[in-house]
Amino acid sequence: MPILPLKTVPDLFPTLRAFTLAMAESQAPQTRYASVVRDLLPYCDTERKLPERSTNFLSDISPDLRGLVDCVAAEEGRDRIATLIGDEDAARVFAFFAYEFPEN
H/E stretch holding 96? helix 87-100
The whole-model pTM stands at 0.64
Q: What is the mean pLDDT of the chain?
A: 84
Asked if 72 and 81 touch (Cβ cutoff 8 Å), the reply is yes
Identify the pLDDT of residue 26.
65
> Whole-angstrom Cα distance, residue 59 to residue 11?
43
DSSP assignment letter at 49: P
Residue 89 has pLDDT above 90, yes or no: yes
Instruction: Label residue 58 exposed, middle or buried (CB < 10 Å: 0-12, 13-18, 19+).
Output: buried
Longest distance between any two alpha carbons in the chain, whole Å: 64
Residue 87 has pLDDT above 90, yes or no: yes
Identify the pLDDT of residue 84.
92
Identify the pLDDT of residue 13.
85
Asked if 41 and 88 touch (Cβ cutoff 8 Å), the reply is no
